Amino acid sequence: MAGHTMAQAQPISYLELPVRDMAASQDFFRQIFNWEFIDYGPDYASFTNAGVAGGFYRSELSARTEQGSALVVFYSADLEPLMQQVVAAGGTIAKAPFDFPGGRRFHFFDPSGNEFAVWSEQS
């Protein structure tokens, strides 16, 4: 196309996640990943210190891959201690550690039922 220019790809700048229990979800991510929060009323809170800015919005829905949701994946050099922290903070292991091309990972549900994963290059 003459005269048509492609827009330069931009990084993801903000991520919004549903939560059923705002306080429990904030406590969980504060304990496990050291996220910081700013509350904007009872139904929304923004988070920082997560690698990308984002927010939690109150919803009875949850983000799960079985329902077609995107999967947010964290990195950890050592899966076992982080898996123990997830459980101790109120999360649930959804998939025990398993090998995949490039490393090993596990999936977990946060207190609001959202699915996340953690990967490592360890085998």
Note the pLDDT tens digit of each residue in 63-119: 999 999 999 999 999 999 999 999 999 999 999 999 999 899 999 999 999 999 999
Q: pTM surpassing 0.75?
A: yes
CATH superfamily of 14-120: 2,3-Dihydroxybiphenyl 1,2-Dioxygenase, domain 1 (3.10.180.10)
Tokens of 16: 């919004």
99 Cβ partners below 8 Å, 6+ apart?
A: 123
Can you say how many angstroms the Cα of residue 3 is from the centroid of all Cα atoms in its chain? 41
